[in-house]
Amino acid sequence: MFKKVFSCSDYNLAMLLGRIGAGSVFLAHGLQKLGNLDGTSMFMASLGLPSFFGPFIMAVEVLGGLALIVGAFSRIAGLVLAVDMAFAICLVKFSKGFIGGYEFELLLLLVALGIHLAGPGKYAVGKDWW
């Protein structure tokens, strides 16, 4: 009995769990940015980016997170969210080192990139066209 439970290898279930986990984190962080959009825009400006990147990043994280959760446009969302995390690592977190710095963003980047490469699995609202 235990062998059967622990030998489960359902790719589609694994993709669902990864999508829900990463999508929930991205959605929560996007909603947090939405709640303080002026502060987010000012932070982007402090990095030397145009302030309109605040609403843009918020939209990427909210819409991308929702897309991952439901499994619609997952490959596109995964790629865009991976790029989002690459910029977060390079512009903000890398100088802080791995532990206590960019390890969380790197994990999100890799999960999002994995979803981009593998697709959403069969437990998804729609088939990805890409």
C-alpha to C-alpha distances, 113 to 48, 61, 101, 116, nearest whole angstrom:
26, 14, 20, 5
Give the model confidence (pLDDT) of 50-106 as tens digits.
999 999 999 999 999 999 999 999 999 999 999 999 999 999 999 999 999 999 999
- Write down the pTM of the prediction: 0.90
Work out whether the CA dihedral 123, 72, 16, 110 comes out positive or negative. positive
With respect to residue 78, please indicate whether it lies within any of the assigned structural domains.
Answer: yes
Confidence of residue 119 (pLDDT cuts 50, 70, 90): very high
Total domain count, the chain:
1
**Which structural domain range is residue 78 located in?**
11-118
Q: 130 vs 93, which has greater pLDDT?
A: 93
With respect to residue 69, please indicate whether it lies within any of the assigned structural domains.
Answer: yes
With respect to residue 45, please indicate whether it lies within any of the assigned structural domains.
Answer: yes
With respect to residue 5, please indicate whether it lies within any of the assigned structural domains.
Answer: no
With respect to residue 92, please indicate whether it lies within any of the assigned structural domains.
Answer: yes
Please tell me the distance from the alpha carbon of residue 71 to that of residue 77, in angstroms, as a whole number.
Answer: 10
| pLDDT at residue 2, as a whole number | 52
Give the model confidence (pLDDT) of 15-58 as tens digits.
999 999 999 999 999 999 999 999 999 999 999 999 999 999 99
